[in-house]
Amino acid sequence: TSSPRRALRGRLLDFVADPAVAGADALRYVRDGILVVEDGRITARGEAAALLPGLACPIDDHTGKLILPGLIDLHIHYPQSRVIAAFGTQLMDWLERYTFPEESRLADPDHAKWQADFFLDELLANGTTTAMVYSTVHTGAAEAFFEASAARNTRMIAGKSMMDRNAPPWLMDTAQGSYDAAKYLIQRWHGSGRQLYAVTPRFALTSSDAQLELAAALMQEFPGVYLQTHLSENDKEIELVRQTYPWARHYTHVYERFGITGPRSLFGHSIHLDDDEVRILAETGSIAVFCPTSNTFLGSGLFDRDRLAAGGVRLGLATDVGGGTSYSMLATAGEAYKVLQLRRQTLRPLDAFHMMTRGNAAALSLTDKIGTLDVGSEADVVVLDARATPAMAHRMTAVEDDLEQELFVLMIMGDDRNVAATYVAGHQRKRPG
Ligand code: GUN
Ligand code: ZN
């Protein structure tokens, strides 16, 4: 993690609060700024005019480009990078026809390493420096992922999927086996360097009662770990949950009853919820994760952001590759805007960029480490260029000096082409051009 001092010059943009609450005060914007990084952390920041004179270190000149905290993706499946763009199905058939067969291949550790290496480099090319990642059921696949992340020194959160029913036999573990494997992985990887663990019961349909109980036991035993699962994504899935758990009032009740709701628990999708479910998520401090490109691609439904927010539910934003169709959090924010349009709701550019950075960090209770450009924060940084493509440069000729319009162009038209550089703990991992 040790790295020499280096400075980045450009337009510094980050958030000190939620703009939906604090308005313009939430934003910190320095037109000609300097960010100094050393030993993996941000050690100084400010106006170039003030800092340049005393600066005795190399400068990466990103003048004119936006320098933001590295983007954060709260729900993504690393084994599904070859499932993106699988034609013609909704969730349950998509899992059976495309996803489970592909995940089976990660029984081979060499294949898993190949997938993990591709996946992490693709995230960095998209400016994503932290992600909450599902692995497959295989312990070795989770291990391969953590090894690949440790080699890049990225702050990743990941977990071995727990699934002991309703899947092909070769993709299943047992309740006890999944507990033992997760415990081993937690002890090996959670807090090792920048790696963090997420207990990962895939969803209610692929876990037995015993397995969900053991997932809760892991959360009790290891208070720093996270939990990730899927909730109320698709009509057919919800009906199957109703049949599988006849005692449950609704889908959320299943997770609540087994004790896996809570402030470190992230629930992907959370689309079709009744008022009681919204109440439970809010009261337990659980996080509902909006996965817009997946929800439109799989025809799952339209996330009701305003209803969840009004109910006091903590929110996050994610790609959900390979149900999702883009690794780019910019494109994901663009799709979120369109989903909310169909709901007659909106996503202002400042709220979107807050969500991709400090907002998602807050959902992880990690704002002291990532999600801002604060001095003392880990030096994960993305450099964005709104003029990176001919069509975007052309569009930008109509934008004079309006930061919010520029951000909106980035989220509606942008993707990895707009990522000029990505820094991981102060090291540049994606080079311009
Ligand atoms: N529900 C259970 N597993 C999955 C998955 O891999 N992707 C999505 N989108 N939903 C799921
Ligand atoms: Zn998912």
DSSP assignments along 215-268, one per residue: HHHHHHH-TT-EEEEEES--HHHHHHHHHH-TT-SSHHHHHHHTT--STTEEEE
> Is the CB of 216 inside a 6 Å radius of any atom of ligand 1?
no
The count of C-alpha atoms lying within 13 angstroms of the C-alpha of 231, restricted to the half-sphere facing its C-beta, is 32
> Is the CB of 75 inside a 6 Å radius of any atom of ligand 1?
no
- Predicted confidence at residue 3, as pLDDT, reads 76
Per-residue CA distances from 299 to 158, 169, 288, 333, 341 (Å)? 26, 28, 18, 18, 16
* pLDDT at residue 321 greater than cutoff 70: yes
Confidence of residue 52 (pLDDT cuts 50, 70, 90): very high
> Is the CB of 94 inside a 6 Å radius of any atom of ligand 1?
no
Confidence of residue 281 (pLDDT cuts 50, 70, 90): very high
* pLDDT at residue 221 greater than cutoff 60: yes
> Is the CB of 300 inside a 6 Å radius of any atom of ligand 1?
no
Q: Identity (one letter) of the amino acid at 234?
A: N
> Is the CB of 6 inside a 6 Å radius of any atom of ligand 1?
no
Among protein residues, the one whose CA lies closest to atom 9 of ligand 1:
323
In tens, the pLDDT along 300-318 reads 999 999 999 999 999 999 9
Characterize 235-252 residue by residue with b for buried, 16 or more Cβ atoms within 10 angstroms of its Cβ, and e for exposed: bebbeebeebbeebebbb
Per-residue CA distances from 97 to 101, 102, 137, 211, 300 (Å)? 7, 9, 17, 25, 17
- Predicted confidence at residue 309, as pLDDT, reads 98
Confidence of residue 2 (pLDDT cuts 50, 70, 90): low
Pocket test for ligand 1, best of 229, 233, 240, 293 (most atoms within 8 A of CB): 233
**Ligand sitting nearest the alpha carbon of 268:** 2
* pLDDT at residue 1 greater than cutoff 70: no
Is the ipTM beyond the 0.85 threshold?
yes
Among protein residues, the one whose CA lies closest to atom 3 of ligand 1:
202
Contact 168, 195 (CB under 8 A): no
Length, in residues, of the chain: 433
Among protein residues, the one whose CA lies closest to atom 1 of ligand 1:
230
DSSP string, 291-306: -HHHHHHTT-----HH
Q: Provide CB contacts within 8 A for 420, sequence distance 6+.
A: 62, 65, 383, 384, 385, 388, 432
Query: Rounded to two decimals, what is the model's pTM?
Result: 0.98
* pLDDT at residue 113 greater than cutoff 50: yes
Q: What is the whole-number distance in angstroms between the Cα of residue 376 and the centre of ligand 1?
A: 36
Domains assigned to the chain: 6-70+371-430 (2.30.40.10), 71-327 (3.20.20.140)
Mean pLDDT of 20-25: 93
* pLDDT at residue 176 greater than cutoff 60: yes
Confidence of residue 431 (pLDDT cuts 50, 70, 90): low
- The mean pLDDT of the chain is 97
Q: Identity (one letter) of the amino acid at 225?
A: V
Mean pLDDT of 22-45: 97
Q: Which residues on neighbouring strands pair with residue 287, listed in sequence order?
A: 266, 314
Confidence of residue 433 (pLDDT cuts 50, 70, 90): very low
- Backbone φ, ψ for residue 430 (5° rounding): -130, 125
Alpha carbon distance 219, 197 (integer Å)? 11
Query: What token pair was written down for 119?
Result: 């996946």
> Is the CB of 137 inside a 6 Å radius of any atom of ligand 1?
no
**Ligand sitting nearest the alpha carbon of 74:** 2
- Give burial (CB, 10 Å; 0-12/13-18/19+) of 11: buried
Q: Which atom of ligand 1 is nearest to the CA of 206?
A: 2
Mean pLDDT of 43-72: 97
> Is the CB of 9 inside a 6 Å radius of any atom of ligand 1?
no
